[in-house]
C-alpha cells in the first residue's frame, strides 16, 4: 500500500463567533441548530497517497474549497487533525508553516493571482525570490517551467498581454517552480472557455505524466474529474459521501446522492475492463483484452465476440483473469430489465 502524504482525521471547520464551543455542543447534541454558524466541513476522514491525484468534487457550497484550505492550513480547522508527512500542521509555528508551504506545496486557485506590474518571467520566479535565491538561478528555473507549460518566448510579456489560458499556464508554472511535492489546485480551469479548458486538461495530464506529484484537484465538473482522477471524493454539505476510483463510484455508488450525482454519466466511457476482472474458470483462449481499455473503447469487439469469458492482460502482457462478456455488455448497453 502506498504511504499517505496527507491524513485527515475527523476534520471539521465551522464559521461563526465561537466555533470550538459550537462543535462541542454539536457533539453533545447532533440535532442542535443555532443561527450564525456555518458547518463547512464535517468530520472528514481522508488519506491522500503519495503520487496520486485525488479530485474533490461537489456542488457549490459542498465544502470542497474549504477542505483544501484546511489541508494547507490556509484556514484553521475547528476540530480534528491534519497531518502532512506525519506532522500535525496545527502544531507548526508560523515560520515552520511558511517553510512547509514554500518547500513542499504548490497552489493554483481560480483567480490567477499574477502580479500585473511584473513580466511573465518575473511572476514565475517570484516564489523563488521569496526563498532568497539569486537572480540567475531563479530566472533559469522560471524559464525551464515556462518551456514546460508551452510559454517559451513569452517571458517578457505582461499578464495583460496574455489570453486567459496563457495566464493560467503562468500560474501553473509559478507553482511548479518551487518543485512542490504536494500540489493543490482549486478549480483552476473554471473560468476558461471549453476549448481552452480541454487544452489545459491535456497539458495538465502531460505534466502529471512527467512528475510524481501528490495532487489535490478541486472541480465541480464530473467529466473533468473522470479525465484526471486516480480517485474521486464526492462532497455534500461538508461531508465526503464517497471516495473511490472513478470505476467504483460509477458502478457502486455508496449513497443515493452519489448515485444521483453520477446518473447521467456514460458508464461505458468510464469503466475499464480491469475493474470487471474475475478469476479464470478455464485456461485462457483467444485474443485477450488490455485491462486499461474502457468498455466504450472495446464496444465493437465485445458485441461481436462469441466467447462467454474473455481473458484480460495487464500492462506487461500477463493474463490477470477474465471478464464475463455479458457483464461488460450490461455496462455498455444497460442491465436487462
Structural domain boundaries enclosing 157: 50-76+90-264
pLDDT of 83: 96
Residue range 8-55, pLDDT digits in tens? 999 999 999 999 999 998 888 888 888 889 999 999 999 999 989 999
Residue range 62-84, pLDDT digits in tens? 999 999 999 999 999 999 999 99
Residues 209 and 314 in one domain: no
Residues 124 and 241 in one domain: yes
Is residue 130 in a domain? yes
Q: Which residues pair with 322 in a beta bridge?
A: 278, 311
Locate 324 and state its grid cell: 464475463
Question: pTM here?
Answer: 0.84
Is residue 15 in a domain? no
Cβ-proximal residues to 316 (8 Å cutoff; 6+ apart), any chain: none
In CATH, what number is assigned to the domain containing residue 260?
3.40.50.300
- How many distinct structural domains can be found in the chain? 2
Residues 138 and 61 in one domain: yes
Residue range 204-258, pLDDT digits in tens? 787 777 777 899 999 888 888 888 899 999 999 999 999 999 999 999 999 999 9
In CATH, what number is assigned to the domain containing residue 321?
3.10.580.10
Distance CA 34, CA 28 (A): 14
Distance CA 165, CA 168 (A): 5
Residues 157 and 284 in one domain: no
Distance CA 249, CA 246 (A): 5
pLDDT of 314: 93
**Strand, coil or helix: what is 99?**
helix
| Nearest one of 205, 203, 152, 144 to 179, comparing CA atoms | 144
Last residue of a domain, one of 264, 296, 325: 264
Residues 252 and 281 in one domain: no
Q: Which residues pair with 56 in a beta bridge?
A: 218, 233
Distance CA 193, CA 136 (A): 36
Residues 236 and 288 in one domain: no
**Strand, coil or helix: what is 69?**
helix
Amino acid at each position: 500500500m502506498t504511504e499517505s502524504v496527507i491524513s485527515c482525521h475527523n476534520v471539521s471547520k465551522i464559521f461563526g463567533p465561537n466555533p470550538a464551543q459550537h462543535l462541542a455542543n454539536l457533539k453533545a447534541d447532533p440535532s442542535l441548530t443555532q443561527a450564525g454558524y456555518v458547518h463547512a466541513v464535517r468530520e472528514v476522514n481522508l488519506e491522500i497517497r503519495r503520487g496520486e491525484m485525488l479530485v474533490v468534487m461537489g456542488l457549490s457550497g459542498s465544502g470542497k474549497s474549504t477542505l483544501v484550505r484546511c489541508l494547507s492550513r490556509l484556514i484553521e480547522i475547528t476540530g480534528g487533525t491534519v497531518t502532512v508527512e506525519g506532522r500535525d500542521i496545527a502544531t507548526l509555528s508560523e515560520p515552520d508553516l511558511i517553510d512547509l508551504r514554500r518547500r513542499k506545496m504548490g497552489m493554483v486557485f481560480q483567480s490567477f493571482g499574477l502580479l500585473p506590474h511584473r513580466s511573465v518571467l518575473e511572476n514565475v520566479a517570484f516564489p523563488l525570490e521569496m526563498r532568497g535565491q539569486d537572480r540567475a538561478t531563479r530566472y533559469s528555473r522560471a524559464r525551464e517551467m515556462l518551456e514546460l507549460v508551452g510559454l517559451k518566448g513569452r517571458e517578457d510579456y505582461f499578464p495583460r498581454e496574455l489570453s486567459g489560458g496563457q495566464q493560467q499556464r503562468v500560474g501553473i508554472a509559478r507553482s511548479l517552480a518551487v518543485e512542490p511535492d504536494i500540489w493543490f489546485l482549486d478549480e483552476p480551469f473554471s473560468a476558461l472557455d471549453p476549448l481552452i479548458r480541454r487544452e489545459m486538461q491535456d497539458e495538465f495530464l502531460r505534466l502529471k505524466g512527467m512528475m510524481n506529484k501528490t495532487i489535490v484537484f478541486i472541480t465541480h465538473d464530473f467529466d473533468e474529474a473522470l479525465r484526471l482522477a486516480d480517485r474521486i471524493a464526492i462532497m455534500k454539505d461538508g461531508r465526503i459521501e464517497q471516495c473511490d476510483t472513478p470505476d467504483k463510484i460509477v458502478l457502486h455508488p455508496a449513497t443515493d446522492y452519489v448515485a444521483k450525482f453520477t446518473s447521467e454519466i456514460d458508464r461505458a466511457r468510464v469503466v475499464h475492463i480491469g475493474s470487471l476482472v474475475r478469476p479464470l474458470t478455464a485456461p485462457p483462449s483467444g485474443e485477450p483484452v488490455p485491462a486499461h481499455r474502457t468498455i466504450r473503447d472495446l464496444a465493437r469487439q465485445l458485441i461481436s465476440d462469441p466467447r462467454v469469458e474473455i481473458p484480460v492482460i495487464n500492462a506487461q502482457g500477463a493474463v490477470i483473469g477474465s471478464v464475463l462478456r455479458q457483464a461488460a455488455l450490461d455496462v455498455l448497453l444497460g442491465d436487462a430489465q
